[in-house]
Structure 1
Amino acid sequence: MQIHVVRNEAGVDEWTIVELQGSLEVSGHSLDGKILGNLCWRKDTKEAILIIGNHLLEGKFTQLEKPLLVGKNFKIFWREFLQVAVPNADDQSYVVNAVIRRKLLFKLRPKPIVTKGLSGHMLISK
């Protein structure tokens, strides 16, 4: 999952990696272009809260030891797009689409959100 955060002064997008524990399972359809959940912040601790369905995750930002670049080999891209040979194909050229310097880490497993039923009994989500 990627979150578009901001463009830096060089005009390159800065993305953040979101690292979750466990796995996301979707039945019957793709998540492409869909809303995964709600992400909000605690003002007092600056921690993140992610709600996916009836599960709550708590996380925080951590810096990566080394930044990651998101890009594409420029000459391979044009060779595939134009379907022609590119001169000096041995030279490496890359287009940088984004840089990643931090990640939003949710290191604990999700907690089920507990709600009150209409009769006052507690319901625990599975």
Structure 2
Amino acid sequence: MVQIVIKKRSDTEEWTIIEMQGELQSRYANGLAGNNIGDLHFNKNGVPLLIIGHHILYGKVVSLEKPFAVLVKGISNENNKSKNGNELNDEDSAENRYNIQAVIKTKLVFTTRPKPIIIHVSKKS
């Protein structure tokens, strides 16, 4: 029997998923990983606004039916001895431990097409 311990830390973060329709492409060959794709803001009514380049997307906040947990695998330090009392290394440990790094309860859904941001400059006469 394998026992897997899941432990919630007191400093567990709360994350949010961002869901967008369509495809997001980078100008550069290195892709999007680790890059800033835009700015996320909320208006006074709590509506999320995502600004990507010269486009704006309006979204909504949705509560998930069942929350997700983000788990990080680690090894328990409590049971580092085998049944006969010998020390076990990390690979031989019979007890795996997963720490909950974050809980995801909400998502921001952007389903509409991006609208271009147009700045109107008034002409002086």
Residue 72 (structure 2) pairs with residue 72 (structure 1) = yes
Higher helix residue share: 1
Instruction: Report what 2:117 is aligned to.
Output: 113
Counterpart code for 1:86: D
User: Which moves more between the two structures, 65-74 or 109-118?
Assistant: 109-118
Equivalent of 2:92 in 86, 89, 101: 86
The sequence identity of aligned pairs, in percent, is: 38
Q: Which of structures 1 and 2 has the bigger CA Rg?
A: 2
Q: When the two structures are superposed, what TM-score results if normalisation uses the length of structure 2?
A: 0.67
Query: Quick one: distance in 2 between partners of 1:62 and 1:84?
Result: 41
Q: When the two structures are superposed, what TM-score results if normalisation uses the length of structure 1?
A: 0.67
Query: Quick one: distance in 2 between partners of 1:12 and 1:84?
Result: 25
User: Which aligned runs of 4 or more in structure 1 are off by greater than 6 angstroms?
Assistant: none
Ranked by relative contact order (alpha carbons within 8 Å, sequence separation 6 or more), the top structure is 2
- Structure 2 residue matching 1:65: 3-state secondary structure: strand
- Structure 1 residue matching 2:11: 3-state secondary structure: coil
Count residues in correspondence: 101
Could you tell me which runs of 5 or more consecutive residues in structure 1 were left unpaired when the two chains were aligned.
1-8, 76-82, 120-126
